[in-house]
Structure 1
């Protein structure tokens, strides 16, 4: 019988095999468990199996989970990542509750997250979401504007720029997956050259994780393969 623990063990094994295959350093790729739409007890099971980094897409649902675990399971010391699209009018709860944000794609959102970060909290660790495919339906800043946004974020004291995130278009072949990821890796290296603290390249999901790791991903975002199929709700 498959369990969350056995699923996590399997994914970690896949990551380690890809690290070896592509000459990556051991443990150079982190696993972010995407827990959107999943109940608290599933996250508890993942925590008991050793997982500590969780990604949420929806503001209300994510904030409720953060607050639940702070109240009932503070010993797990979870690191919460917001990975969904950001509406300007919902930046406050994101800034007040999350440790990381993967999906900054405009200076206005960055400024609001900075201004609304509670005093005394560690700076919000942030990634720029890049739209490498140019799809209008996808969030993210165009590749050619990412360096300018990085400069804007670097000037904000309550944010710490850590790298890039992308959700490339779904493509059929491994070669096409790799090409899209390599484009983001090139941009990542350019930004890293300017900002030494940049160390995180969030790319790769269940269907393209191996190509992402080959291209240099440092964090893969996996949900269904850990928790099973999602039951979507209307919570945003």
Structure 2
């Protein structure tokens, strides 16, 4: 596990990478938000990151995240659920998170919206996950089904659809990395309306954040580069 003192320098390095990519690809300074993926990392490292100005954290395991929130409850943090959504966890997700990044099932959307209405006046902010590879093992909706899912979710009280998210297969060079991100951006551009601009593109991780920024990412989900190698989930 990293020492608390290492977190500041690692955050600075990631922020510098994002700023350099914004400049390189003609993006406005500060247009890309860093989501620090803190799953399986201890609460003390999240506390250290927050002390160095990081506010948004991504978690994949519901109970683990709730335990950390109890320990860090006095801090003004934004909690993003980035794991696979399970039907029996929708009530807890709706109550304990500000964002959900992997929404791809209309039944999950309905449950999340209904539960959210019982716990908060603020809607649950959501990104619809798009499966661009067509692999059955990957979560998310296929591109051809995205318009129907988007229209369905837009009618659900308790949810606000902020944009789209994808998790492509790893690729070695930046040209190959950029291709799926370009597809997601094109989907967003085609489906966005003034009433629903889909302003958030949640895409890019430690190894491909530059490619994601090049293709319009507004939020990059960075774990290893911030917190170091991930411990095994118990």
Alignment correspondent of 1:51? 54
How many angstroms does 1:69 deviate by? 1.7
* 2: CA distance, partners of 1:208 / 1:22: 14
* 1: CA distance, partners of 2:39 / 2:59: 5
TM-score (norm 1): 0.94
Q: Contact 1:161/1:197 (CA < 8 Å) preserved in 2?
A: no
Tell me whether 194-203 or 131-140 shows the greater mean CA deviation: 194-203
The answer to whether the aligner puts 1:38 opposite 2:44 as a matched pair is no
Alignment correspondent of 1:220? 220
**Pick aligned residue for 1:27 from 26, 30, 41:** 30
**Ranges in structure 2 where 5+ consecutive residues have no aligned partner:** none
The answer to whether the aligner puts 1:135 opposite 2:135 as a matched pair is yes
* 2: CA distance, partners of 1:9 / 1:198: 29
The answer to whether the aligner puts 1:160 opposite 2:163 as a matched pair is no
* 1: CA distance, partners of 2:52 / 2:8: 5
Aligned alpha-carbon RMSD (Å): 1.4
**Ranges in structure 1 where 5+ consecutive residues have no aligned partner:** none
* 2: CA distance, partners of 1:60 / 1:233: 12
| Correspondence 1:188-207 to 2 at 5 A | 188-193=188-193, 195-207=195-207
The answer to whether the aligner puts 1:107 opposite 2:106 as a matched pair is yes
| Correspondence 1:40-119 to 2 at 5 A | 40-70=43-73, 74=74, 76-117=75-116, 118-119=118-119
* 1: CA distance, partners of 2:66 / 2:121: 16
Q: Contact 1:80/1:98 (CA < 8 Å) preserved in 2?
A: yes
| Correspondence 1:169-180 to 2 at 5 A | 169-180=169-180
* 2: CA distance, partners of 1:32 / 1:62: 15
* 2: CA distance, partners of 1:29 / 1:126: 17
* 1: CA distance, partners of 2:91 / 2:43: 23
How many angstroms does 1:120 deviate by? 3.5
* 1: CA distance, partners of 2:9 / 2:119: 40
How many angstroms does 1:197 deviate by? 4.4
How many angstroms does 1:198 deviate by? 2.1
How many angstroms does 1:67 deviate by? 2.7
What is the aligned residue count? 230
Alignment correspondent of 1:15? 18
Q: Contact 1:63/1:94 (CA < 8 Å) preserved in 2?
A: no
TM-score (norm 2): 0.94
How many angstroms does 1:104 deviate by? 0.4
**Pick aligned residue for 1:5 from 8, 19, 22:** 8
* 1: CA distance, partners of 2:140 / 2:196: 23
Tell me whether 163-172 or 116-125 shows the greater mean CA deviation: 116-125
